[in-house]
C-alpha cells in the first residue's frame, strides 16, 4: 500500500464541544481541515496497528466525501479492518452498538446531529472509544492539543470504496467490510423488548403510530423495525428517506421543528403514539394525541417501569440525568431506593457510570434517553420502550403520564434557547451571575426565595476527573430551579440556554399549562440577568 505524507498547517479552532467537532461545511472544506482533525484523532490513539474501526454518518452533505478520505487515512494509520455503514450511513447509537459488539478500537461518526445540513450548513465529526461512548474530555482535549501543532497527515493511495453494496473488500492486508446499517441494531432491540406483544398491539387494529424520521438517519431503522418486524402499517414512518439537507429542515425532534408530526398529533384521527428522532438518531420525542411528554418526564416514566420489560429483568442499579434535566427521575430513584447521579450536559459523562454498573438508565432534557445497552442516547430505543410499555399496560400515552404524576407529582419544565447571539454578551451574562451569586442567595422575588446560586462542578465518581463551569444553578426554597448555560454544539455566535423547573405535588394542578406555572420563574430570570436587553432579543429563538 502506498502511503503519502502530506504537509499541512495546523488550525487553531479544532476543539471538540459537547459532542464532537461541529462547524459549517465550508470550514470543513478548507484545505486539509478534515484530514488534520482525523489525523489528530489517530495520533491520539497509540494502539491502532491490527485494530478495527467503525465508520459511518447521518448522510448529511459532505458525508460521502469525508468517508472516502477517512477510509484512506485509516488505512494509512494501520487499521486492519474497517466496518463501514452501507452508503456511508450509520446512526450514532448503531455505531456505539457495533463498537461494543465487535470489540473494535473505536468508531468515527460523521454528524452534526440536529443541526441543519447542506453546503451552507453544518457538518461534524466525533470519535467514540472502545466502550462505544463518546471520547471523554481527557481524550478530546488531547486531540485538540495535537491538532494545534499538526503539520502533516498520512493518506493511502487507494481507489474509492464502493459503499453501495454490502460485502468485504481486501486491499493489501486491509479488510473493508460494508455492512447493513440496521441489522445489528435491530437484533439488539429484539433482545431488549417484547416484539411479540408490540406486534399484537399493532395487530389489534386499534393502535397506530406515526414516526417522523425527519429525512434523517432513522428512516431505514424505523421502516425495518416498526413496519417490517413489528407490523405497523406501511406509511407509519414519514419522511423516511435520509436526505443530504434533511429536506431543508432542522432534523430536531421537538415541537418547534417536527411540525408535520405535531400537526398530525393535534388533528382529528391522530395516531395513538407520535414519535420523532434527530439527524443522527440519538434523540427522541414522544407524543400522544394532543399530548406532549417532556424528555425529562419520559426519562422518569422509563426509570419507573423498566423492570417490566424483558431487557431489564433485575430492575435498575441506578439512574443519572444531566444537571439541567428536571428532577422528576430523582423522585423515582428515591422510591426505588437507588442513586440518581447528576452529571454535566453531554452523554460522555454517563460513560463511566454505565461502564462500572452504577447506572442502568440515563437521560437529558434535550430529548435524549438511553440505557446500558449502549453508550449513546438512543432515539428509537426510547420509542420502542414506550411501545412496549403501552402494550403491557394497555393504556394511552396520556394516561400513563397522568398516573405517573399522580404517584410522584409533576415537575413542570421548559427550556428557552437564545440562538446565534453575541458571544461576548452571552459570556458576560454568565460572568455577572457568577460574580453576584453570593448576593443573590437570600433575595426574595414575590413568593420565590433564592436559597443558593452556584456554578455546577462535577467530580466523576469513577476516575475523579473534575469538570468545572457546567452551568449556573439558581435554586429556590420551594424546590424550583433556574439553570443557565452556554451551548457547546452551536456553530454561529453563542447560544444561551435557560432551563426552568417547578415541582407540583397537587394532582388538581397537573393539567395546568406549563407556561402558566413557569411564568413567575421566567420573569425572575429576566430581571436577574437583564438578558433580553443585553442580548438585544425580546424573545427566545426556540422554546422546548
Ligand atoms: C446539546 C444538548 C445536550 C446534548 C448535546 C448533544 O448540547 O443540550 O444535552 O448532549 O446537544 O446532542 P449543548 O451543549 O448545545 O447544550 V446531539 O443529539 O446534538 O449529539
Ligand atoms: Co443527535
| 83-103 tens-digit pLDDT | 999 999 999 999 999 999 999
Of 132, 137, 139, nearest to 93 by C-alpha is 132
CA-to-CA dists, residue 301 to 216, 320, 338, 527, angstroms:
27, 14, 15, 34
385 within some domain: yes
Tell me, what's the pLDDT at 351?
A: 94
Tell me, what's the pLDDT at 468?
A: 92
**Ligand 1 atom closest to the CA of 278, numbered from 1:** 18
Pocket perturbation via mutation, ligand 1, pick of 60, 346, 347, 469 by most ligand atoms within 8 A of CB: 346
Contact status, residue 82 vs residue 55, Cβ threshold 8 Å: yes
| Binding site membership of 348 for ligand 1 (Cβ less than 6 Å) | no
User: Please, how many CA atoms are within 13 Å of residue 58, restricted to the half-sphere of its CB?
Assistant: 34
> How far apart are the CA of 345 and the centre of ligand 1, in A?
7
**Ligand 1 atom closest to the CA of 365, numbered from 1:** 9
Examine the domain organization and report whether 535 and 435 are in the same domain.
yes
- Which ligand is nearest to the Cα of residue 17, counting in written order? 1
Average pLDDT score over residue span 199-227: 97
Pocket perturbation via mutation, ligand 1, pick of 19, 381, 490 by most ligand atoms within 8 A of CB: 19
327 within some domain: yes
User: Rounded to the nearest 5°, which phi and psi values hold at 353?
Assistant: -65, -40
pLDDT tens digits along 447-492: 999 999 999 999 999 999 999 999 999 999 999 999 999 998 777 8
pTM assigned to the model: 0.93
Please report which confidence band the pLDDT of residue 157 belongs to, taking 50, 70 and 90 as the band edges.
very high
Judge whether residue 437 has pLDDT over 90.
no
| CATH code of the domain covering residue 429 | 3.30.310.50
Examine the domain organization and report whether 111 and 236 are in the same domain.
no
**Ligand 1 atom closest to the CA of 364, numbered from 1:** 9
> How far apart are the CA of 18 and the centre of ligand 1, in A?
6
Examine the domain organization and report whether 429 and 290 are in the same domain.
no
CB atoms within 10 A of CB 392: 15
Examine the domain organization and report whether 390 and 444 are in the same domain.
no
Buried b (16+ CB within 10 A) or exposed e, 461-498: eeeeeebeebbbbbbbeeebbbbbbbbebbbeebbbbb
Tell me, what's the pLDDT at 1?
A: 84
| Binding site membership of 212 for ligand 1 (Cβ less than 6 Å) | no
Average pLDDT score over residue span 106-127: 96
Tell me, what's the pLDDT at 402?
A: 96
Strand partners, 285: 276
Examine the domain organization and report whether 95 and 12 are in the same domain.
yes
Q: Which of 181, 208, 229 represents a domain boundary (last residue)?
A: 181
**Ligand 1 atom closest to the CA of 279, numbered from 1:** 18
Tell me, what's the pLDDT at 29?
A: 97
Tell me, what's the pLDDT at 488?
A: 81
Examine the domain organization and report whether 153 and 35 are in the same domain.
yes
Q: What is the CA radius of gyration of the chain?
A: 23
Please report which confidence band the pLDDT of residue 538 belongs to, taking 50, 70 and 90 as the band edges.
confident
- Which ligand is nearest to the Cα of residue 544, counting in written order? 1
Average pLDDT score over residue span 293-304: 98
| Binding site membership of 282 for ligand 1 (Cβ less than 6 Å) | yes
Examine the domain organization and report whether 341 and 473 are in the same domain.
no
The mean pLDDT value of the chain amounts to: 95
The helix, strand and coil proportions of the chain, stated in percent and rounded to the nearest 5, come to 35, 25, 40
- pLDDT above 70 covers what percent of the chain? 100
Examine the domain organization and report whether 531 and 470 are in the same domain.
yes
| CATH code of the domain covering residue 67 | 3.40.120.10
Average pLDDT score over residue span 384-389: 98
Q: Does 113 qualify as catalytic in the annotation?
A: yes
pLDDT tens digits along 486-530: 998 777 889 999 999 999 999 898 988 888 899 999 999 999 998
Residue nearest to atom 4 of ligand 1 (CA): 346
Average pLDDT score over residue span 234-257: 94
Examine the domain organization and report whether 464 and 517 are in the same domain.
yes
| Binding site membership of 346 for ligand 1 (Cβ less than 6 Å) | yes
| Binding site membership of 376 for ligand 1 (Cβ less than 6 Å) | no
| Binding site membership of 91 for ligand 1 (Cβ less than 6 Å) | no
Domain that holds residue 170: 3-181
The three-point CA angle 303-304-305 to 5° equals 95
Average pLDDT score over residue span 247-264: 93
| Binding site membership of 114 for ligand 1 (Cβ less than 6 Å) | yes
Residue nearest to atom 20 of ligand 1 (CA): 113
Residue 151 burial class via C-beta count within 10 angstroms: exposed 0-12, middle 13-18, buried 19 and up? exposed
Secondary structure element (H or E) that encloses residue 458, with its range: strand 458-459
17 within some domain: yes
Of 82, 70, 105, 72, nearest to 1 by C-alpha is 72
Examine the domain organization and report whether 166 and 19 are in the same domain.
yes
Residues 6+ apart with CB under 8 A from 45: 105, 106
Examine the domain organization and report whether 172 and 200 are in the same domain.
no
Please report which confidence band the pLDDT of residue 215 belongs to, taking 50, 70 and 90 as the band edges.
very high
The number of distinct structural domains making up the chain is 3
Amino acid at each position: 500500500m502506498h502511503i503519502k505524507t502530506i504537509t499541512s498547517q495546523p488550525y487553531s479552532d479544532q476543539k471538540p464541544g459537547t459532542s464532537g467537532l461541529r462547524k459549517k461545511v465550508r470550514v470543513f472544506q478548507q484545505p486539509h481541515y478534515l484530514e488534520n482533525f482525523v489525523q489528530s484523532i489517530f495520533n491520539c490513539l497509540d494502539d491502532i496497528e491490527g485494530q478495527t474501526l467503525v465508520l459511518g454518518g447521518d448522510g448529511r452533505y459532505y458525508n460521502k466525501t469525508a468517508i472516502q478520505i477517512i477510509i484512506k487515512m485509516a488505512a494509512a494509520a494501520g487499521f486492519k479492518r474497517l466496518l463501514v455503514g452501507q452508503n456511508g450511513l450509520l446512526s450514532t447509537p448503531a455505531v456505539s452498538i457495533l463498537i461494543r459488539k465487535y470489540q473494535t478500537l473505536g468508531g468515527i461518526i460523521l454528524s452534526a446531529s440536529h443541526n441543519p445540513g447542506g453546503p451552507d450548513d453544518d457538518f461534524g465529526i466525533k470519535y467514540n472509544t472502545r466502550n462505544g461512548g463518546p471520547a471523554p474530555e481527557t481524550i478530546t482535549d488531547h486531540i485538540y492539543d495535537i491538532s494545534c501543532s499538526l503539520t502533516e497527515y498520512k493518506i493511502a493511495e487507494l481507489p474509492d470504496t464502493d459503499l453501495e453494496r454490502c460485502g468485504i473488500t481486501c486491499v493489501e492486508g486491509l479488510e473493508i467490510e460494508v455492512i447493513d446499517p440496521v441489522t445489528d441494531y435491530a437484533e439488539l432491540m429484539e433482545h431488549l423488548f417484547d416484539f411479540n406483544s408490540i406486534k399484537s398491539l399493532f395487530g389489534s387494529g386499534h393502535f397506530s403510530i406515526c414516526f417522523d424520521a425527519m429525512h434523517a438517519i432513522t428512516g431505514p431503522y424505523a421502516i425495518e423495525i416498526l413496519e417490517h418486524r413489528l407490523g405497523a402499517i406501511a406509511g407509519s414512518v414519514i419522511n423516511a428517506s435520509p436526505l443530504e439537507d434533511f429536506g431543508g429542515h432542522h432534523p430536531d425532534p421537538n415541537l418547534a421543528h417536527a411540525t408535520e408530526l405535531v400537526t398530525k398529533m393535534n388533528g382529528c384521527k391522530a395516531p395513538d403514539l407520535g414519535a420523532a428522532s434527530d439527524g443522527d438518531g440519538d434523540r427522541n420525542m414522544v407524543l400522544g394525541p394532543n399530548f406532549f411528554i417532556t424528555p425529562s418526564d419520559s426519562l422518569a416514566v422509563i426509570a419507573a417501569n423498566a423492570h417490566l420489560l424483558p431487557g431489564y429483568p433485575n430492575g435498575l442499579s441506578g439512574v443519572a440525568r444531566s444537571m439541567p434535566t428536571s428532577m422528576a427521575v430523582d423522585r423515582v430513584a428515591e422510591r426505588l431506593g437507588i442513586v440518581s447521579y447528576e452529571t454535566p450536559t453531554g452523554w460522555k459523562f454517563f460513560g463511566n457510570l454505565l461502564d462500572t454498573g452504577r447506572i442502568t438508565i440515563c437521560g437529558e432534557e434535550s430529548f435524549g434517553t438511553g440505557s446500558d445497552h449502549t453508550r449513546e442516547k438512543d432515539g428509537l430505543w426510547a420509542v420502542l420502550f414506550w411501545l412496549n410499555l403501552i402494550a403491557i399496560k394497555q393504556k394511552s400515552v396520556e394516561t400513563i403520564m397522568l398516573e405517573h404524576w399522580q404517584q410522584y407529582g409533576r415537575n413542570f419544565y421548559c427550556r428557552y434557547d437564545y440562538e446565534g447571539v453575541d458571544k461576548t454578551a452571552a459570556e458576560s451574562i454568565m460572568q455577572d451571575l457568577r460574580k453576584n451569586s453570593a448576593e443573590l442567595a437570600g433575595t426574595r422575588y414575590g413568593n420565590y426565595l433564592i436559597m443558593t446560586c452556584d456554578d455546577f462542578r462535577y467530580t466523576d465518581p469513577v476516575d475523579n476527573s473534575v469538570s468545572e463551569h457546567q452551568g449556573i444553578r439558581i435554586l429556590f426554597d420551594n424546590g424550583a430551579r433556574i439553570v443557565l448555560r452556554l451551548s457547546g454544539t452551536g456553530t454561529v455566535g453563542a447560544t444561551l440556554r435557560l432551563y426552568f423547573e417547578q415541582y407540583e405535588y397537587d394532582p388538581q394542578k397537573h393539567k395546568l399549562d406549563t407556561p402558566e406555572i413557569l411564568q413567575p420563574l421566567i420573569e425572575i430570570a429576566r430581571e436577574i440577568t437583564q438578558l433580553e436587553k443585553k442580548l438585544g432579543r425580546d424573545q427566545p429563538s426556540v422554546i422546548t
